Amino acid sequence: MFSSPRELLDGTEKLSSVSVVHERLNEAIFSQRTTVGQITSIIMQDAGLTARLLRIVNSAYFGFPRKIDTISRAVMVVGTQQLHDLTIATSIVKLFQRIPERFVSMGSFWKHSVACGLAARVIAGLNRESNVERFFVGGILHDVGRLIMYDKIPEMMDEAFSHVMNHPAPMFIAEQEIIGFDHAAVGAALIEAWHLPGSLEEIVRYHHTPQSANRYQREASVVHIADVIAHAMQCGSSGELNVPPFDEDAWTLLGINPGSLPQIVDLVDRQLEGVLKMFHSNES
């Protein structure tokens, strides 16, 4: 029996590599002294990462009119913070390539996650947020806790699933009742353990209950809405049987124009395939 989400994480040795890169980058970016060159060299130490990043910045996802040949150019154009976020996204996705597909296929899972990420990015763009990549990352990672739970406690997840079949409710409620904590908490614990930015942690923790967030209520609200949109669009599945409850206050807080919905859905539709390929490509 696990009494806290943190306990689930123990033993995940895969943690370290992600955190190392991240911490180095973080420090480098944060430091006023660090030049673009230094950041570039940190990234380039990871060839796979380098390749993935270059692919992303040259894709329609980014829409940059010029070809970006080098990481240093990418750093300049994309922005260091944004590039950092993309790094996190790709690393984590790569981390969870193979998980037992009892509850959900990986393809389906990442499809839903990427759709959510794209929707969140578009919404953030409409609201003129300065770092839209942060939202993309948040969107991609919001259900990552589920993967860990599927891996570590599959029987309890079974129980939760059956419960939901007979008493219609969102999975996270059932998880809380049966297991004692939900996938949002687990995902947040992982983010925390990796020392990733606080906004990501709150996004993941409160993506079903954005009103409970502290400093990053806006971010949590954006991903919450993006999650609902992704479910409504039926882009893949994360193991949720029903569309999760929608918090109207989140909508009001962001002041999104309902007329923007068609635009959001359209952009997600167009970019989904391309982005999935980039993040999910099988190499190594």
Partner 1 sequence: MIEENVNTIPSVEALMERVRFLEETNQWMLESFEAVSAIDDQRSSPHSRWDKNSIYGAARAHLRRLVGFEAMAFFRPDETNNEFILEEADPAGERESIINEVNQLIDEGLFGWALHQNRPIPIPSRNDTRVFVLHGLETRRNVIGMFVGIAPSSESIPNKLALNLMSIVLFKTAVGLEQLELYERISNQNRILEQKVEERTKELMNAKDIALRASRLKSEFVANMSHELRTPLSGIIGISELLIESQLGQETRRYATMIRNSGDTLLAIINDILDFSKIEAGKLTIERISFNLVQVIAEVVAILEGKADAKGLRIKCEYALGDLPNYYGDPLRVRQVIMNLVGNAIKFTNHGFITVRAAIEEHGAEQPVVKISVMDTGIGIEEEVQANLFQSFTQGDGSTTRKYGGTGLGLAISKQLVELMGGMIGVQSYAGKGSTFWFTLPLPSRAQGQESKSLPVNKKEVSRSGFTAHENSPFDHSRGVKESESFNNEIRALVAEDNQVNQEVSRGMLTQIGFQVTVVPDGLRAVQENNRSPFDIIFMDCQMPVMDGYEATRQIRQSEGPGRRAIIIAVTAHAFPGDRESCIQAGMDDYIAKPFKQAELRNIITRWTTHLHDNRENTRDDKQTSLLPSTRIEQIIDRERIEEIKSIKSHSHPSLLGRVVQHFQRDFPLKIASMREGTEHRDAFQVRKAAHALRGSSAQVGAIVVAKVCEQIELLAIKESVEGTGRLIDVLEDAFKQAVEQLVTLVPKEELQ
Instruction: Point out which residues bind partner 1 (CB under 8 A).
Output: 16-17, 20-21, 29-37, 45-46, 63-66, 72-73, 76-77, 79-81, 125, 128-131
Three-class secondary structure assignment of 166-231: HCCCCHHHHHHHHCCCCHHHHHHHHHHHCCCCHHHHHHHHCCCCHHHCCCCHHHHHHHHHHHHHHH
d(Cα 26, Cα 88) in Å, to the nearest integer?
11
d(Cα 220, Cα 254) in Å, to the nearest integer?
11
CB of 256 to partner 1, least distance (A): 13
Between residues 17 and 263, which has the closer beta carbon with respect to partner 1? 17
CB of 98 to partner 1, least distance (A): 16
d(Cα 47, Cα 53) in Å, to the nearest integer?
10
CB of 263 to partner 1, least distance (A): 14
Within 10 A of 119 (CB to CB), how many other CB atoms are there? 29
CB of 129 to partner 1, least distance (A): 7
Between residues 46 and 159, which has the closer beta carbon with respect to partner 1? 46
Between residues 81 and 176, which has the closer beta carbon with respect to partner 1? 81
- The answer to whether residues 206 and 191 touch, using CB atoms and an 8 Å cutoff, is no
CB of 48 to partner 1, least distance (A): 9
Between residues 34 and 58, which has the closer beta carbon with respect to partner 1? 34
Element (H, E) at 244: none
Between residues 47 and 165, which has the closer beta carbon with respect to partner 1? 47
